[in-house]
Chain A
Amino acid sequence: MESSSNLTQLTSFLEKIPSALVLGKGLTASIAVIELKGKGFEVIQLEFGQAPGDELYCCLPGFDFEEYKLSVMQSVGQSEVYHSESIPMIDRDGAGFKVDIASIRDRRFDVLFFAGGLANRPCSNLDLAPLELFGPETKYSGESEDVALLMDYPEPSDSAAAMSAIVYALENAKNGGRSAVILDNVPVRHLQGESLYDSAKSAGVKFYRLGQSNPKIQDSFPSEGGNRKIWITLQDRIEQGSDIQIVCDRLFLVTGPDQKGIPYQINHFLGADLDPSGFLISESIHSNTFKSFSAGVYAIGNFTGNSDLFQIMSQAKAAAASARAYALFTNTKSRENILSISEECVRCLTCYRICPHMAIWPSVSPSRSQLNSIGTACFECGICVSECPRTAIDLTHFPQMAFSSFIEDVKNQPDRIVVYGCSRSAGRAASHISLPPDVVFFSVPCAGRVSESVILETLSIGVKGLLVIGCHHGNCASNNGTDWACDRVETVVTNFLLPMDMQGKLQYKTMAPNEILKMEKIIRQFVNELETDPQTSKYSSS
């Protein structure tokens, strides 16, 4: 049949069956396993920690999570699953990984998936209040009740959780119950969001917007017989006026995944690869919500700050396809000689610590430790080269020699203004602009490759000015290459270029690949400043 011949066609060029280690339990991990298996991966799942599973929400009225879970479990089929108290030691093995668990110690995995779950954030402000956290398993009982759902308090709720809570309010209202939703902003995600809000309003769900003052929550226990009641006093931001009082039987608090639950051991693989809120994976556009800076590492689900079932299904698919490409690339391409480490190496581990892509890994043998460069994981950014104290490490396609011969070239052309620009941003834009006559542009793999010694060497030949251009902070393809460049320019300016008249000569600027006019402006301004009055123009970093 047609599909089986396709199967052999597509998998035959993978020299061996790719393998994946999925860390995590719950629905997210299962969805990841299904998608990876669908791409031909051999998958091992490793459940770790005590925490229950994950918290995922689906905002469709009438959606039955239990039924859905069952269907997922059926699709997972037979699966190899291991358990561990905490995240075990995981080491690089070439471009892949090895894990320190007795039964699978000898296996090698091409990719690592973090698909762990997180509990919802508790509320610090409302410890006394008789409230329940709204979770995915919070199911409407079918009996009409007086219920209040508090969201965006004190920080914005997860939109998928919030929309599920509105579904709860809607179902209760349809059954004759009274539902009050107290929030900052009504979540209207997906095409269905607005109509969900509409139906909730027309079914009689009351929406209140949090005002300046915090809502007051009191709990009254019945003297005898009657029900316990919760009293909420609040101000509505839109209908300003007197206080509003809501009396209900149940009060739910809607929050979102709690990043504090992310195990600290993960830092070992991901370094600083966290977003500003502390979830996995930097906000860099290079991560596109599923791919880490660390080559071969993927994260999906609660760990990435996401609890929307629809989005997590897409994350799993996207990550699986990307993982397949990675396995294909690392298993078929020989890139052994992308990076070389010479005998000069003193094993200080600097390169290992700073490589943003986890492309250098120490291997410890009984005799002595050794540094391994993993060509297939290397992005050729040159950050390691720029920091190695022994100049022991070098890139094949952009060797140290490239700088030396460039500088040698410029030496013979007096009064030149040198611009070192990251190939991703400035390098791409440079081909679209015409540079002023005395400016020489030199494209470097990453601004982070421009070391202090390169800066000093360039200045020492008597250039009129030196401008280093990197990508905007937070948008570096190598995570922090542009920040390295910024720091080094600053260090050279403060430590080596003390005379005032030299300060304007060395500057650092940032841009995006699409900012062609901005690049023109940056260079024009730099040239103008050099030409007008170097005494007054100050070093600037932006």
Chain B
Amino acid sequence: MAPHTSKNVVIIGSGIAGLTTAKLLCENGIKATIVEKSSVLGGHTRKWSCKATSQCQVCNRCSLDDVMAALENYGVQYLTESELGSVVRDSAGYLRGVKISTSGSEVAEEIPSDALALCVGFETYDPSEKLLWGYGALDGVMTLADLDFVLDQQRLNDLGNGSEQTKIAFFQCVGSRDKSVGANYCSQYCCKAALRSAVKLKSEKPQWSVAIFYIDLQVSGKYASSLLGRATESGIELAQGVPGEIFLDENKKLAVNIEKNGTNAREQFDKIILSVGQRPSASTAILSQITGVGLNEHGFFESRTIFDPNRTCAQGVYLAGACGAPMDIETTILNASAAASDIISDLSGIHKGA
């Protein structure tokens, strides 16, 4: 369908946030140009696996495919291996365009732009930063992202030790809710993701034992009962308190010390999966300088006010998705749709806005 207006919005980042923003704008007759740093579209979401058992677990991974399919109906311009160079403003300070530099070409291309949406997402916490987790040093310690890769490749058997007695543990809040690593916030997605993965493991390998060590399970809301219900029905052990250290015991097995009823007990595992948190993307600092959008104390983009989460202090510049705060896919879709909504209102001038 051809766009109905001459308005063009440039979107930086092609994760689920950027693509959702583009979709809603296109559906409303506004053109979109998507600028992506890497060579592929889809951001982090593209890497995650489907967690369906005999039914969908609503991980929302496949909404990426749906959004991409919907976008095929519109003439969105995709610029991969490209980054934002600068913004062009007129004498009154209004956003008029952006300059995009594409790898391999010398000159930055200027694209007219009535609004700019920052959708550069997040980075996963690197748990090797904290030696006690043993990530990268101990065989069998992996991250939730590594687990998704194994599941996506249909290589579940790789997780087992060959016997029926395989023991798997999830450690929650790795690199989140932890001042000692500079992340005093909850990453919002990982309790639900770990629960779904654990349910998936149990449904494929009912003999395995699966435990989740957590601080507080963040699954409230309408999902809480059904997800927690599935987890307990499938026999997943939920234990409050996350062990602080992973080591190899005398049998060269992964082991942790667990406090139970006031006494210390040692437990062995074949695989320990670290639910790594979301960190602000390294791009936020550079983009903050280019666009004038501020960063908050945690390093995420700062919105204009807490009640206006998608507009920023810079005229014509909006933000959507995990670059504004850690969030799961569902919330990202909601957030990005709201950003597109603000852009539509502001460009149509009905609403007082940027």
Query: Which of A's residues lie within 8 Å of B, judged by CB?
Result: 2-4, 6-7, 9-11, 13, 35, 37-40, 60, 155-159, 162, 184-191, 193-195, 198, 209, 237-238, 240-241, 256, 275-277, 279, 283-286, 288-290, 304-306, 310-311, 313-315, 317-318, 320-322, 324-325, 328-329, 424-425, 428, 471-475, 477, 510-515, 517-518, 521, 542
- B184 x A283 contact (CB < 8 A): no
Q: Are B56 and A475 in contact (CB under 8 A)?
A: yes
Q: Is B217 within 8 A of A472, CB to CB?
A: no
Determine whether the beta carbon of B219 is less than 8 Å from that of A156: yes
How far is B262's CA from A237's CA once the two chains are assembled, in angstroms? 11
B188 touches A472 (CB 8 A): no
B335 touches A515 (CB 8 A): no
Residues of A contacting B326 in the complex (Cβ-Cβ under 8 angstroms): 191
Contact between B342 and A317 (Cβ–Cβ < 8 Å)? yes
Contacts of A305 in B (CB 8 A): 221-222
B220 contact from A156, A329, A473, Cβ within 8 A: A156
Q: Could you tell me if B337 and A188 are in contact, using CB atoms closer than 8 angstroms?
A: no
- B338 near A: Cβ within 8 Å? yes
When the two chains form their complex, are residues B66 and A424 in contact, meaning their CB atoms are under 8 A apart? yes
CB A124 to nearest CB in B, in angstroms, measures 15
* Chain B residue at minimum C-beta to C-beta distance from A239: B262
* Interface residues in B296-354 (C-beta closer than 8 Å to A): 296, 298, 300, 306-307, 309, 325-326, 330-331, 333-335, 337-338, 340-342, 344-345, 347-351
Once the chains bind, are B217 and A185 in contact (CB under 8 Å)?
yes
Q: Which B residue sits closest to A280, measured CB to CB?
A: B222
Q: Which residues of chain A have C-beta atoms less than 8 A from B154's C-beta?
A: 517-518, 521
* A189 surroundings in chain B (CB, below 8 A): 186, 188, 218, 220
Q: A38-B345, A240-B261, A306-B221 are in contact. Are A13 and B50 (CB under 8 A)?
A: no
A155 neighbours in B (Cβ, 8 Å): 224-225
Q: Which partner residue on chain A sits nearest B154 by CB separation? A: A517
> A221 to chain B: closest CB distance in Å?
35
Q: Are B66 and A542 in contact (CB under 8 A)?
A: no
Are B226 and A276 interface neighbours, CB within 8 A? Answer: yes
Whether A277 lies near B225 (C-beta < 8 A) is yes
Bound CA–CA A198/B221 (angstroms): 22
Which residues of chain B are near A322, meaning CB under 8 Å? 24, 27, 337
Give Cα A2 to B349, complex, Å. Answer: 8
Cβ–Cβ contact A314 & B338, under 8 A:
yes
**Interface secondary structure of B, over-half rule:** loop
Tell me the bound Cα distance from A542 to B53 in angstroms: 8
CB-contact partner of B218 in A2, A187, A191, A240, under 8 A: A187
Q: Which residues of A contact B58 (CB under 8 A)?
A: 283-285, 474-475
Known contacts A190-B325, A317-B341; is A39 also within 8 Å of B348 by CB? Answer: yes
Closest B-chain residue to A9, C-beta based?
B5
Given A9-B5, A310-B306, A472-B55; 9 other pairs, CB 8 A cutoff: A37-B350, A159-B218, A185-B216, A194-B184, A321-B24, A328-B4, A425-B62, A510-B52, A514-B49
Which of A11, A283, A518 lies in contact with B348, CB distance below 8 A? A11
The answer to whether A512 and B55 touch (CB under 8 A), given A159-B221, A185-B220, A318-B334, is no
Type the 1/0 row for B200-212, where 1 means its CB is closer than 8 Å to any CB of A.
0000000000000
The size bracket of the interface on B is 35 or more
Q: How far is the CA of A318 from the CA of B341 in the complex (A)?
A: 6
**Complex contacts, A195 vs chain B, CB 8 Å:** 184-185
A311: B residues at CB distance < 8 A? 331, 334
B152 proximal to A (CB < 8 A)? yes
Min CB gap A513→B, angstroms = 4
Given contacts A194-B184, A209-B240, A475-B52, contact A314 B334 (CB under 8 A): yes
Q: Which residues of A contact B217 (CB under 8 A)?
A: 184-185
The answer to whether A320 and B341 touch (CB under 8 A), given A13-B4, A424-B69, is yes
Q: Is B60 an interface residue (CB 8 A)?
A: yes
A288 to B6 Cα, complex, angstroms = 29
**Interface pair A289/B338, CB less than 8 Å apart:** no
Smallest CB separation, B32 vs chain A (Å): 13
Residues of B within 8 A of A424 (CB): 66, 69
Q: Which residue of chain A is the closest to B186 with respect to CB atoms?
A: A188
Find out whether the CB atom of A191 lies under 8 angstroms from the CB atom of B325. Answer: yes
Shortest Cβ distance from A6 into chain B, in angstroms?
Answer: 4
CA distance A518 to B58 in the complex (A): 18
Q: How far apart are the CA atoms of A521 and B156 in the complex, in Å? A: 13
- A541's closest neighbor in chain B, by CB? B54
When each residue 43-64 of chain B gets 1 if its CB lies under 8 Å from chain A and 0 otherwise, what string results?
0000001101011101011111
Residue B153 is within 8 A (CB to CB) of chain A in the complex: yes
Most buried by A among B27, B218, B224: B224
Q: Are A428 and B225 in contact (CB under 8 A)?
A: no
- Residues of the A chain whose Cβ atoms lie less than 8 Å from the Cβ of B55: 472-474
Chain B residue contacts of A517, Cβ below 8 A: 152-154
B222 touching A315 by the CB < 8 A rule?
no
Question: Would B349 and A7 count as touching, CB distance under 8 A?
Answer: yes
Chain B residues contacting A162 (CB-CB under 8 Å) are: 220
Given the contacts A7-B349, A156-B220, A512-B52, A240 and B262 also touching, CB distance less than 8 Å: yes
Closest chain B residue to A307 by CB distance? B221
Judge if B7 is at the interface, Cβ distance under 8 Å.
yes
B56 to chain A, nearest CB (A): 4
A43 CB to closest chain B CB (Å) equals 12
User: Is B65's CB within 8 Å of the partner chain A?
Assistant: yes
In the bound complex, residues from chain A placing their C-beta under 8 Å from that of B54 are 473, 542
- Residues on the B chain within 8 Å of A314, using CB: 309, 334-335, 337-338
Sampled A-B contacts (8; CB under 8 Å): A6-B347, A156-B219, A188-B177, A285-B66, A288-B333, A305-B221, A310-B307, A512-B62
Closest 8 CB pairs of A and B: A3-B349, A305-B222, A318-B337, A475-B56, A325-B27, A321-B341, A513-B65, A317-B341
Q: Is the CB of B337 within 8 A of A288?
A: yes
User: Which residues of chain A are within 8 angstroms of B261 by Cβ–Cβ distance?
Assistant: 240
Name B188-246 residues within 8 Å CB distance of A.
188, 215-226, 228, 240-241
- Asked whether A238 and B240 contact (CB < 8 A) given A159-B220, A185-B217, A276-B226, the answer is yes
* Least CB distance, A300 to chain B, in whole angstroms: 10
Bound Cα distance from A306 to B342, whole angstroms: 21
CB neighbors of A among B262-320 (8 A):
262, 296, 298, 300, 306-307, 309
B64 shortest CB reach to chain A, Å: 7
Closest to A476 in B: B56
Q: Which residues of B contact A37 (CB under 8 A)?
A: 350
Chain A nearest CB from B337 CB (Å) reads 3
Task: Please determine whether A10 and B7 come into contact, CB atoms closer than 8 angstroms.
Answer: yes
Chain B residue at smallest Cβ distance from A162: B220
Collect the chain A residues with CB atoms within 8 Å of residue B140's CB.
Answer: none
Considering the chains assembled together, what is the distance between the CA atoms of A157 and B218 in angstroms? 11
Across the two chains, which residue of chain A brings its CB closest to B155? A517
Q: Using CB atoms, name the residue of chain A closest to B65.
A: A513
A298 shortest CB reach to chain B, Å: 12
Assess whether B28 is interfacial by the CB under 8 Å rule.
yes
Contact call B65/A514, Cβ cutoff below 8 A = yes
Residues of A within 8 Å of B152, CB to CB, are: 514, 517
Complex interface: chain B residues within 8 A of A329 (CB): 27
| Contact indicator B306/A328 (Cβ below 8 Å) | no
Report B215 CB to chain A, min CB distance, Å: 8
Q: Does B29 contact A (CB under 8 A)?
A: yes
A39 touches B350 (CB 8 A): yes
Tell me the complex Cα distance, A322–B344, Å.
Answer: 11
> Does B330 lie within 8 Å of A321, measured CB to CB?
no
Question: Which B1-56 residues have C-beta < 8 A from chain A?
Answer: 4-7, 24, 27-29, 49-50, 52, 54-56
Contact A512 B348, CB 8 Å, known A473-B56, A477-B66: no
The CA-CA distance from A277 to B225 in the complex, in Å, is 8
A188 to B351 Cα, complex, angstroms: 33
Nearest CB of chain B from residue A508's CB, rounded to whole Å: 12
User: Separation in Å of the B233 CB from the closest CB of chain A?
Assistant: 13
